[in-house]
């Protein structure tokens, strides 16, 4: 069964796109998983990091009626439905018409060709994120380990609960921590509290804060490609291994 996972957080800058990109790259390259990465943010950062900026068609074309399969772009071995600023117009239309099911409808059966479909959501709980959650089987929250982010979790839990009225199978099944610094007591405390609340839904290890990540993304790539010897590579590799175990175990239950 395909796992369709929406990476969400209404806060920006918490590492959603970075985590999504590195998971997609590692699942495809190190674990031979069939992965489709969908960039559902008008900022198109995932498109850039995965090297899909040249994609001739984007998710906007899919939402406007082109077949999803014909718009999938092979970016260095990762299948990507890219984004661009044009998605902003589509978001406007979806919001104006309160259309929640557009993404699910246009993806159709294409998702079945993949083991994992990862949807990188914008930093809001607006109509694009709602469409992502309607199309998804799972929600994975990406957060940093700061107190304000911990408080924001309550909002996310509430929104996912509301979505479950429509998409009854949807589960908030994963929490990933980014920008983690073991030397900061606040980071350790917040991680502890997240573990208390979300139990084994917290997927470890947290991804450390590392300048290599910023360098890699400014070169339009992942650390695997641009800074392969950086320590943070180990975090992303270990996270990917846990991520697979986490979701394959869940599938068997
Ligand atoms: N582990 C990390 N260490 C240091 N910087 C990071 C890390 N993860 C992401 N960043 C940087 O933080 C910024 C926001 O990350 P991003 O993944 O785009 O967040 P979001 O998608 O939640 O807005 C980017 O400049 C990114 O390069
Ligand atoms: Mg982002």
Atom in ligand 1 nearest the alpha carbon of residue 123: 23
**What does the angle CA 236 – CA 211 – CA 247 come to, to the nearest 5 degrees?**
15
Nearest CA, atom 16, ligand 1: 15
pLDDT tens for 154-201 read 999 999 999 999 999 999 999 999 999 999 999 999 999 999 999 999
Site to probe by mutation for ligand 1, drawn from 23, 142, 178 as the one with most ligand atoms within 8 Å of Cβ, is 178
Residue 14 — φ and ψ, nearest 5°? -95, -5
* pTM of the predicted protein model: 0.98
Atom in ligand 1 nearest the alpha carbon of residue 217: 27
Helix ranges, the chain (H):
16-29, 45-49, 59-63, 68-71, 87-96, 102-107, 127-135, 147-163, 185-198, 211-218, 223-226, 232-252
Strand, coil or helix: 175: strand
Ligand 1 centroid – CA 166 distance (Å): 32
pLDDT tens for 97-118 read 999 999 999 999 999 999 999 9
Which tokens sit at 231? 């320590």
User: Structurally, how many domains does the chain consist of?
Assistant: 1
**What does the angle CA 50 – CA 39 – CA 48 come to, to the nearest 5 degrees?**
30
* CA nearest to 20, candidates 92, 99, 116: 116
Which range of residues forms the domain containing residue 121?
Answer: 3-252
Could you tell me if 6 and 140 are in contact, meaning their C-beta atoms sit under 8 angstroms apart?
Answer: yes
pLDDT tens for 72-87 read 999 999 999 999 999 9
Ligand 2 centroid – CA 179 distance (Å): 14
Residue 73 — φ and ψ, nearest 5°? -115, 130
Which tokens sit at 171? 């589960």
Burial 150-179 (b: 16+ CB within 10 A, else e): bebbeebeebbeebeeebeebbbbbbbbbb
Nearest CA, atom 15, ligand 1: 15
Residue 149, domain CATH: 3.40.50.300
User: What residues contact residue 6 under an 8 Å CB cut-off, 6+ apart?
Assistant: 119, 121, 129, 132, 133, 135, 136, 138, 139, 140
Atom in ligand 1 nearest the alpha carbon of residue 232: 1
Does 40 score more than 90 pLDDT? yes
pLDDT tens for 190-248 read 999 999 999 999 999 999 999 999 999 999 999 999 999 999 999 999 999 999 999 99
Residue 140 — φ and ψ, nearest 5°? -120, 120
Does 253 score more than 90 pLDDT? no
Ligand 1 centroid – CA 47 distance (Å): 14
Ligand 1, residues at Cβ distance < 6 Å: 12-18, 45, 123, 178-179, 207, 209-210, 213-214, 217
- Dist CA 122 CA 193 (whole Å): 25
């Amino acid at each position: 069964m395909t796992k369709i996972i929406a990476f969400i957080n209404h806060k920006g800058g918490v590492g959603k796109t970075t985590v999504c990109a590195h998971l997609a790259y590692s699942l495809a390259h190190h674990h031979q998983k069939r992965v489709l990465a969908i960039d559902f943010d008008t900022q198109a950062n995932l498109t850039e990091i995965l090297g899909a900026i040249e994609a001739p068609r984007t998710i906007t074309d899919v939402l406007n009626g082109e077949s999803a399969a014909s718009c999938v772009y092979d970016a260095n071995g990762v299948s990507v439905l890219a984004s661009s600023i044009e998605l902003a117009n589509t978001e406007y239309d979806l919001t104006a018409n309160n259309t929640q099911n557009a993404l699910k409808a246009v993806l159709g059966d294409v998702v079945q060709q993949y083991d994992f479909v990862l949807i990188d959501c914008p930093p809001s709980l607006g109509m694009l994120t709602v469409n992502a959650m309607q199309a998804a089987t799972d929600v994975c929250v990406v957060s940093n380990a700061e107190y304000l982010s911990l408080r924001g979790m309550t909002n996310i839990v509430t929104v996912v609960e509301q979505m479950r009225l429509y998409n009854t199978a949807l589960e908030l099944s994963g929490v990933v921590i980014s920008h983690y610094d073991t030397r900061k007591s606040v980071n350790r405390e917040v991680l502890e509290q997240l573990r208390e609340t979300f139990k084994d839904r917290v997927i470890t290890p947290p991804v450390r804060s590392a300048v290599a990540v910023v360098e890699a993304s400014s070169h339009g790539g992942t650390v695997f490609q641009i800074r392969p010897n950086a320590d943070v590579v180990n975090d992303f590799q270990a996270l990917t291994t846990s991520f697979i175990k986490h979701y394959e175990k869940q599938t068997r239950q």
